[in-house]
Amino acid sequence: MTVNVALPVGIALLVIGLQFTTRPVRWQNWIWVVLCVARGFVPPGPSRATAAGIGLLVVSLIASAIFGVLRGRTMPMWRGQDGLVYRRGGGVTLLLWLATVATRLALGALGQAVFAEPFALDALWLGLGVTLAAQQLVMTHRATRLPHPAPRRDRPAPAR
Query: In the chain, pLDDT over 90 holds for what percent of residues?
Result: 54
Query: Average per-residue pLDDT in the chain?
Result: 88
8 Å CB contact between 81 and 149: yes
User: For residue 62, what are the CA distances in angstroms to 57, 58, 101, 134?
Assistant: 9, 6, 13, 10
Do the domain assignments include residue 152?
A: no
- Give residues with Cβ within 8 angstroms of 6, minimum separation 6: none
CA nearest to 25, candidates 146, 150, 149, 125: 146
Range of the domain at 125: 3-145
- Res. 155 pLDDT band, cuts 50 70 90: low
Do the domain assignments include residue 32?
A: yes
Cis peptide before 151 (omega within 30 of 0): no
CA angle 82, 83, 84 (to 5 degrees): 95
- Report pTM: 0.86
Do the domain assignments include residue 129?
A: yes
Do the domain assignments include residue 40?
A: yes
- Res. 156 pLDDT band, cuts 50 70 90: low
For residue 25, pLDDT over 60 is answered with yes
Helix or strand run (H / E) with residue 44: none
Question: How many domains, in total, are found in the chain?
Answer: 1
pLDDT confidence of residue 158: 58
Query: pLDDT tens digits for 108-153?
Result: 899 999 988 888 888 888 999 999 999 999 999 999 999 887 766 6
Do the domain assignments include residue 158?
A: no
Q: Which amino acid, 114?
A: V
For residue 52, pLDDT over 90 is answered with no
